[in-house]
Amino acid sequence: MDSRRIDSDSIVDMVFHLKWKSDGVAHTDGYQASRINIWRDYIPPSLLEEINGKQAGEGFELQLTSNDFIQEYANQSLIQIKNKQFDPQSTLGAKANPAVGRFYPKGILKSVAGVFSANVQPFRLVHVNNGNMMVDFNHPLAGKDLILTGIVGKVENKATERGGSSVDWMEVLTTGPGMQARWQGQQTDFFSADAFIREDETPDTRFYSEPRLVQHIDDTAIEMVRNTYGRFLRNDMDVLDLMSSWQSHLPERLRFNRLVGLGLNERELKKNSHLSEHVVQDLNISPGLQFESDSFDAVVCTVSVEYLINPLAVFAEVARVLRNDGHFIVTFSNRWFPTKAIKIWTELHEFERMGLVLEYFIRSGGFKNLQTYSIRGLPRPHDDKYYPDLMYSDPIYAVWGQKNLIEQNSSLR
């Protein structure tokens, strides 16, 4: 093992994970920071003290309050404005009805002190009443207790200091996280009348009439999806691969008792050698699953949830076919077929999309132990067709929960 230890002259790679909770949901947001310049970049003093002297492979854990590197939560950052000051068309070029709990760029606000039209920093709309709105300018992690963990990667000594920009790695890590949580426990209004319309409303069976043998995310991202599923899947399980295709991004080492693929194109499904059986079904026409209750130990859905137009019905069906305490794991990225994604998906910040999927779990009933996970900043493989135009791997976002037999039974009464 490389024995070099971190000091003020080091260049370091490090994987961070930020862990926090909201309304009983556990969140973990990861970021791989490459080539941290210990002398030049901004690192909070408590973190700098913790990592000083560590070498590759060593880890750390810090108990933090968000105030260590995020501005303290302040009631004065809750601001009341008039409805007419909320003007999405002025900046976004589109009309939008204000939705409580949603995030918007500050630049859409008119005549608000300290806000200019090019400002893309997000704010949250938290209340609408009688011609007035309440907006929250606090950071979405403000006031939350945080656990920061990390693993040290490569440690190098820099030969010389030749200037360059300084990176605030905690700002990078915390830009986005927090947006997946509800505001003070209230439901986020994701479900407007046109939320689930799509640019192409023709039947999905027509769109998928020919096999689409494409790789939707890069190889590094696929490995992150496999690692995520590997936390829950075991040998000899009965698993349902929902909205499946010619690939199932499941750990290669596992041997399942039953792996069922449900998708839209039979030729794609037949090409998937991992499946023990397959079902051709359009969930947007028939959301009911053709399986007996308590049939599966786990259900996975990979980079497809953004196409569901009746997600609550599908999620309720997943809870039905899962065995008690079985996991439903949903993974996605920031790539999709544009004409087939639901409208609300295309309007949301990437971290808000985890919040939308969380709402599916919560409102469909029947799930417990809800968690979200994200990982960003990993390098894109050099042989990927988008390299070097895109230097970083596709980000991976995941939401999962376990079947809650008590809540599901009560919801059926």
pLDDT of residue 411: 46
Q: How many helices (H) and strands (E) does the chain have?
A: 10, 15
pLDDT tens per residue, range 256-295: 999 999 999 999 999 999 999 999 999 999 999 999 999 9
The string of DSSP codes covering 51-87 is HTT-BTT-EEEEEEEGGGTSPPP-GGGEEEEEGGGB-
CA–CA separation, 125 and 137 (whole Å): 9
What pairs with residue 31 in β-bridges?
16, 376
Tokens for 146, please give them.
Answer: 């945080």
pLDDT tens per residue, range 24-45: 999 999 999 999 999 999 998 8
pLDDT of residue 206: 84
Which residue, 35, 30, 16, 26, is CA-closest to 224? 30
Question: Which is more confident, 94 or 60?
Answer: 60
3-state secondary structure of 202: coil
| 332 sits in which H/E element | strand 322-332
Whether 96 and 83 have beta carbons less than 8 Å apart is answered as no
Which residue, 217, 259, 256, 219, is CA-closest to 242? 259
Whether 331 and 225 have beta carbons less than 8 Å apart is answered as yes
Whether 42 and 166 have beta carbons less than 8 Å apart is answered as yes
Classify residue 255 as exposed, middle or buried by CB count within 10 Å of its CB (0-12, 13-18, 19+). exposed
pLDDT tens per residue, range 286-344: 999 999 999 999 999 999 999 999 999 999 999 999 999 999 999 999 988 889 999 99
Q: How many CA atoms lie within 13 A of 16 on its CB side?
A: 23
Which residue, 126, 116, 120, 123, is CA-closest to 140? 123
pLDDT tens per residue, range 63-74: 986 667 788 899
Name residue, tokens 């971290």.
351
pLDDT of residue 383: 85
What pairs with residue 64 in β-bridges?
146
Classify residue 69 as exposed, middle or buried by CB count within 10 Å of its CB (0-12, 13-18, 19+). buried
Whether 77 and 124 have beta carbons less than 8 Å apart is answered as no
Classify residue 329 as exposed, middle or buried by CB count within 10 Å of its CB (0-12, 13-18, 19+). buried
